[in-house]
Structure 1
Amino acid sequence: MSNEQTEIRTEKIELLKSQGISAYPERFSTNYDLFEAAELEDGTSEVRVAGRIMGIRNFRKLTFISISNIEGSLQLLLKKEEIGDELFDQFHQLIDIGDFIGVQGLMYSTQTNEKTLRIESYVFLGKALRTLPEKWHGLTNVDIRYRQRYLDLMMTQDTKSRLLARSKMVRAIRTFFEDQDFLEVETPVLQHTSSGALAKPFRTYHNSLDTELNLRIAPETYLKRLIVGGFTKVFEFAKCFRNEGISPQHLQEFTMVEGYAAYWNYEDTMKLMREMVLFVLEQTFHTTTISLQGQTIDFSREWEIVSFRDLILKDTGIDIDLFMDVKYLYQETVKRNINIEHADIESLGRGNFIDLLYKKMCRPQLVKPTFLIQHPIDLSPLARANDDNPELTDRFQLVVNGAEIINAYSELVDPLEQRRRLEAQALLKSNGDVEAMEMDEDYLTAMEYGMPPISGFGFGIERLLMVLTDSETIKDCVLFPLTKKI
């Protein structure tokens, strides 16, 4: 920041005060937002709008001003003969780019056909002490972009559009589930166990209770407790925390939408998720056709359904059904020169090893929306086993543009089988698999009171936005991503 510029702007605050003008007034009444005003017919009068000044083009007796906010911008015209000498001169003496202004006036179109408001009166609404960057280097200096997201929102149209789409997407998702008679609920972030997903938790400490706690990695087991308690359709926008590596597709703090329906199976949920994605696309982007990796994809067309085994067989030549022991499966990948990059590969269970194989060799090729089904049971500790083949689960993932955006199951509701699976996971955890689940006696107790058939789903808001906007990194899809402390 230029100290000289800040001093000049600070002096202008004193000048404002000396003329009886508040540098930071209480309020201003508008009757249109900026994007609405830009659509008004010429001749519309008494239009009242407000915004941040982003540009000033000064001519001798008239000035063009552009003001903006997150949803739109508007050109203003300040004419000396219409506003009077005093207010015209006052504007140029006291007001800078970055300041806020409220105006009232009449709409017209310029010779270049740009909708413009002719100012009849204006009110000063707030002084910026720092000058806005003339050239915003956020695109090249990524750290500044994330650390000073407010500047990025002001200066970068892509950032503005994407993060505005996020808010619209959240609203559409909430509307969709409420229209389908799902009830929105909230479950605890602080938990004694880290169940509900295969992930490493953040740990914290509760002083009054003198106990170690985890930040939740998923809301799953609490939402299922609600089904035990009598809810039939629930969903939650849940902040989740996973203490995992940084990558373009992963955040350590993210927003998960998770929900459950009693008496459904995963095929019912498959239909629901397709309807939801189409609804979200229509509500957020006003189309079901978007561009991904240079391909134009119409989501309203039929989505492919492929099994986990068939996909891996097609892309690697390995039939995972022939290798029930992880040791032999690992040897087969080595034989085929497939390098599974993992720091501690010897400690992985079969499920996590297969998952890594799929993520390396198969997932990047899936660009069009694809339902991946029939996951191995050791990859899904909370999913229901298939009636015909108990080695597989009744589960699907929706994969688009090389990323998993929705995970869904027919849920495991048998408490005895659930205990066996959690014991197996606990054994893997004790042998060094940090992402394996731990025992959750409280949840098992709830299950023992009886559960109906259930199907559930979960997806991350940021991941969904990343895929639908073809973004390079998931950090671009959250307002304030975590950055290193300076």
Structure 2
Amino acid sequence: MAEQKNNPQAEQDLGQQTKIRREKLAVLQNQGKDPFQTTRFDWDTTSGQIKENFDAMEGRSVKVAGRLMSKRGMGKVSFCDLQDRDGRIQLYARQDEMDEAAYQEFKKYDIGDIVGVDGEVFRTQRGEMSVRARTITLLSKSLLPLPEKFHGLTNTELRYRQRYVDLMVNPEVKRNFVLRSQFIRHVREFLDSRGYMEVETPVLNTISGGATARPFITHHNTLDIDMYMRIATELPLKRLIVGGLDRVYEIGRIFRNEGMDPKHNPEFTTVELYQAYTDFNGMMDLFEELLSSAAQKLLGTYQVEWQGEKIDLTPGWPRLPMHEAVKQYCGIDFMTIDSDDEAVAAAKAIGVELLETAEKTWGNALYECFDQKVEEKLIQPTFITMHPVDVSPLAKRSPKDPRLTERFELFICHSEMGNAFSELNDPIDQRARFQKQVELRDRGDDEAGMMDDDFITALEYGMPPTGGLGIGIDRCVMMLTGSDSIREVILFPTMKPLD
């Protein structure tokens, strides 16, 4: 494998093994037995079905198919492990129970070859559930050897680059992606059962909007215009609320031209949902029920371990205003501070610096204190509410304090899992906030949003009170699988080219 590079002896051994496998292929092709000409094999049973229903299936004829993962014996009796979609099952082959020529041909098969087996379910003298082979058909030839079985594919970067090998030789990896699929199915079933309609919105847009992030920019040749890959699905979905689709959601890929670390990949998956006639409190209730029920359904428990912490997802999660969290963890009561200068000074006094492109305001100072000093301390599920309007350009202002918005983020194990608002439906206020984003962009903040005149027009027709929620699918799957890196739950994470 590629992880053997810089080891001359390993590369020489690999080259020799590859040469031998190609020679075996050539012999088969010259005999008119080219495995790559085989078009199908009608298997009827999996390894999992055999193991789960062995008593009922013992003595039954079955057809199984998969990859040879090990070979033992190779005299007149051979044992192999066959790996299929459910796991592994032992194959038992005897020369006197098969066509002798076919048995001798089978002995030349390599670990990694894909075969189809017609045989009978039985248990060996040692008690191993197995398939006694009558015929074994070579369906595809493996021209590269699998990683050495005692060490497997352990080079982390290579695992991500060659996920196909990773899935073959590291069974626990497959579990992550099975659970990911189950979680997405749960999200769909959960929302569908509550009257939400799944929709699709554009990936390519003429402006970037719906979040604060740096977009990927591409070019449409026919229209001769730059276009932006979506950084959120928010604005198109809210247009649908205006149009009368009262409950909508979209599960889809999002693209942000930003850094990569254990929590971030340039493309990732979210579910965004919007519901008319509710608010951010309704979204909190929904999010708590969705995530806790997923843990109970998929794992059978509310207790999970993630990043070395024991997490309790039992419903009843705390709901803490951001200014209360900052007061609790930093000792600063922003609600007693009236001026921007005083707020910025208070933040600076505890080592918090505002971004150069950020305005030196009360709201930005509060947010940076939370972001830099508090977020890392939130382990158990906690809803942080009432974000400053300065960092929430699409959220409705709090009627109790216009400096704050009806917004929350859910944090678990110092990771943001989702973001939600009582959606801003005042077109006059929305235009003013878009204009503020434009001014920030003009000052060099390339993560700031753009003016979306059509969205303003939609709001001017009237959008009902609406609650909206965006959930990071990848982060949720990281938690449910106990994965410390987002790359462990994305089949093909973004990688720097080798050259």
Distance 1:35 1:382 in 2: 49
Q: What amino acid is aligned across from residue 45 of structure 2 in structure 1?
A: Y
- Classify 1:211/1:11 alpha carbon distance in 2 versus 1 (closer, same or farther; 3 Å): same
User: Residue 322 of structure 2: which of 275, 300, 308 is its match?
Assistant: 308
Tell me whether 1:168 sits opposite 2:182 in the alignment. Answer: yes
Distance 1:108 1:359 in 2: 60
Moved segments of 4+, more than 6 Å: none
User: Residue 431 of structure 2: which of 370, 394, 419 is its match?
Assistant: 419
1:368-447 aligned at under 5 Å gives the runs 368-447=380-459
Question: Is the 1:37–1:47 contact (alpha carbons within 8 Å) kept by the matching residues of 2?
Answer: no
Question: Is the 2:274–2:468 contact (alpha carbons within 8 Å) kept by the matching residues of 1?
Answer: yes
Q: What amino acid is aligned across from residue 238 of structure 2 in structure 1?
A: K
- Classify 1:329/1:44 alpha carbon distance in 2 versus 1 (closer, same or farther; 3 Å): farther
1:190 counterpart residue number: 204
User: Residue 49 of structure 2: which of 24, 36, 41 is its match?
Assistant: 36
Question: Is the 2:347–2:366 contact (alpha carbons within 8 Å) kept by the matching residues of 1?
Answer: no
Distance 1:113 1:362 in 2: 56
1:280 counterpart residue number: 294
1:50 counterpart residue number: 65
Deviation at 1:153, TM superposition (A): 1.4
Question: Is the 1:176–1:279 contact (alpha carbons within 8 Å) kept by the matching residues of 2?
Answer: no
Distance 1:363 1:38 in 2: 46
1:238 counterpart residue number: 252
Deviation at 1:131, TM superposition (A): 0.9
- Classify 1:44/1:297 alpha carbon distance in 2 versus 1 (closer, same or farther; 3 Å): farther
1:264 counterpart residue number: 278
User: Residue 75 of structure 1: which of 81, 90, 94 is its match?
Assistant: 90
Q: What amino acid is aligned across from residue 443 of structure 1 in structure 2?
A: F
Tell me the alpha carbon deviations over residues 131-165 of structure 1, each in whole angstroms, 9 at most, x when there is no partner. Answer: 111155643x3321211111111122332211221
- Structure 1 unmatched runs, 5+: none
Deviation at 1:345, TM superposition (A): 6.4
Distance 1:149 1:109 in 2: 34
Q: What amino acid is aligned across from residue 34 of structure 1 in structure 2?
A: S
1:110-259 aligned at under 5 Å gives the runs 110-134=124-148, 138-139=153-154, 141-259=155-273
Question: Is the 1:51–1:100 contact (alpha carbons within 8 Å) kept by the matching residues of 2?
Answer: yes
Tell me whether 1:452 sits opposite 2:464 in the alignment. Answer: yes
Tell me the alpha carbon deviations over residues 400-447 of structure 1, each in whole angstroms, 9 at most, x when there is no partner. Answer: 111111111111111111111111222222223332222111111111
Tell me whether 1:461 sits opposite 2:476 in the alignment. Answer: no
Distance 1:343 1:451 in 2: 34
- Classify 1:254/1:117 alpha carbon distance in 2 versus 1 (closer, same or farther; 3 Å): same
Deviation at 1:484, TM superposition (A): 1.0
Question: Is the 2:209–2:232 contact (alpha carbons within 8 Å) kept by the matching residues of 1?
Answer: yes
User: Residue 10 of structure 1: which of 22, 47, 50 is its match?
Assistant: 22
- Classify 1:61/1:377 alpha carbon distance in 2 versus 1 (closer, same or farther; 3 Å): same
Q: 1:205 is paired with a residue of what secondary structure? A: strand
Distance 1:243 1:99 in 2: 40
- Classify 1:13/1:324 alpha carbon distance in 2 versus 1 (closer, same or farther; 3 Å): farther
- Classify 1:346/1:289 alpha carbon distance in 2 versus 1 (closer, same or farther; 3 Å): closer
Q: In the comparison of the two structures, how many residue pairs are matched?
A: 482
User: Residue 88 of structure 1: which of 89, 103, 106 is its match?
Assistant: 103
Q: What amino acid is aligned across from residue 265 of structure 2 in structure 1?
A: L
Distance 1:122 1:82 in 2: 12
Deviation at 1:302, TM superposition (A): 2.2
Question: Is the 2:397–2:403 contact (alpha carbons within 8 Å) kept by the matching residues of 1?
Answer: yes
Deviation at 1:113, TM superposition (A): 4.0
Deviation at 1:169, TM superposition (A): 1.4
Deviation at 1:255, TM superposition (A): 1.1
Deviation at 1:294, TM superposition (A): 4.1
- Classify 1:90/1:327 alpha carbon distance in 2 versus 1 (closer, same or farther; 3 Å): farther
Q: What amino acid is aligned across from residue 361 of structure 1 in structure 2?
A: K
Q: 2:143 is paired with a residue of what secondary structure? A: coil
- Classify 1:392/1:71 alpha carbon distance in 2 versus 1 (closer, same or farther; 3 Å): farther
Q: 2:54 is paired with a residue of what secondary structure? A: coil
Distance 1:356 1:480 in 2: 33
Deviates more, 1:203-212 or 1:299-308: 299-308
Question: Is the 1:403–1:467 contact (alpha carbons within 8 Å) kept by the matching residues of 2?
Answer: no
- Classify 1:183/1:211 alpha carbon distance in 2 versus 1 (closer, same or farther; 3 Å): same
1:318-397 aligned at under 5 Å gives the runs 318-323=332-337, 327-336=341-350, 338-340=351-353, 344=356, 351=363, 354-397=366-409
Give the alignment's TM-score, normalised by structure 2: 0.91
Q: What amino acid is aligned across from residue 94 of structure 2 in structure 1?
A: K
Distance 1:230 1:339 in 2: 44
Deviation at 1:295, TM superposition (A): 4.1
Q: Give identity over the alignment, percent.
A: 38
Q: 2:399 is paired with a residue of what secondary structure? A: coil
Distance 1:298 1:285 in 2: 13
Deviates more, 1:469-478 or 1:448-457: 469-478
User: Aligned-pair RMSD on alpha carbons?
Assistant: 2.2
Deviates more, 1:342-351 or 1:356-365: 342-351
Deviation at 1:333, TM superposition (A): 2.9
Q: What amino acid is aligned across from residue 62 of structure 2 in structure 1?
A: V
Q: 1:163 is paired with a residue of what secondary structure? A: helix
Deviation at 1:347, TM superposition (A): 5.8
Question: Is the 1:38–1:116 contact (alpha carbons within 8 Å) kept by the matching residues of 2?
Answer: no
Deviation at 1:70, TM superposition (A): 4.6
- Structure 2 unmatched runs, 5+: 2-13
- Classify 1:343/1:382 alpha carbon distance in 2 versus 1 (closer, same or farther; 3 Å): closer
Tell me the alpha carbon deviations over residues 233-275 of structure 1, each in whole angstroms, 9 at most, x when there is no partner. Answer: 1110121111112221111111111111111112222221122
Distance 1:331 1:255 in 2: 38
